[in-house]
C-alpha cells in the first residue's frame, strides 16, 4: 500500500487478490476491509472485477520507483498488515482470558 501526494492509497495486484481470496474463504467483506485497512467500496470493486473475469490490475506504479523501492514498499505493506493482525489477536486473547475463571486451568 502506498499513499500518493493526494492522499490516495495504491494497492498492488497481489494484495487485491489476497483480499478477494479472504472474502471467498467465507469472511465478510466488512471484516476483511476493516482488517486490511481498505474501504468496503474498494474491496467490493475488486470482487466485482474478479467475478467479471477481469484481471485485477496493479494500481499505477510510482514514477521512478526502482525494483528495490517497490519491494521495500511491499514489505512495509505486509509488515503493517501483520502488525494489525497481531494486535487483533492480542485483543481477542485479552478478552478470552478475562472471561475464564481463575481456576479453569486446574
- Residue 53 backbone dihedrals phi, psi, to 5 degrees: 85, 10
Per-residue pLDDT tens for 7-31? 556 788 888 888 999 999 999 999 9
- Residue 12 backbone dihedrals phi, psi, to 5 degrees: -80, 165
Please give the pLDDT value at position 70: 80
Q: Which residues contact 33 (CB under 8 A, 6 or more apart)?
A: 19, 39, 40, 42, 43
Please give the pLDDT value at position 15: 87
Neighbours of 25 (CB within 10 A): 8
CA distance 67 to 81: 21
Q: Three cell numbers at 76?
A: 512495509
Per-residue pLDDT tens for 55-82? 666 554 566 678 888 888 888 988 998 9
Per-residue pLDDT tens for 28-42? 999 999 998 888 998
Q: Rounded to whole angstroms, what are the CA distances from 42 to 4, 11, 17, 46, 94?
A: 17, 10, 12, 6, 31
Amino acid at each position: 500500500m502506498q499513499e500518493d501526494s493526494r492522499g490516495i492509497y495504491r494497492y498492488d495486484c497481489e494484495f487485491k487478490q489476497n483480499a478477494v481470496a479472504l472474502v471467498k474463504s467465507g469472511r465478510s467483506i466488512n471484516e476483511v476491509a476493516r482488517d486490511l485497512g481498505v474501504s468496503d467500496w474498494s474491496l467490493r470493486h475488486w470482487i466485482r472485477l474478479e467475478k467479471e473475469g477481469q484481471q485485477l490490475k496493479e494500481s499505477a506504479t510510482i514514477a521512478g520507483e526502482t525494483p528495490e523501492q517497490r519491494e521495500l514498499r511491499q514489505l512495509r505493506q505486509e509488515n503493517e498488515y501483520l502488525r494489525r493482525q497481531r494486535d487483533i489477536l492480542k485483543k481477542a486473547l485479552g478478552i478470552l482470558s478475562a472471561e475464564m475463571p481463575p481456576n479453569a486451568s486446574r
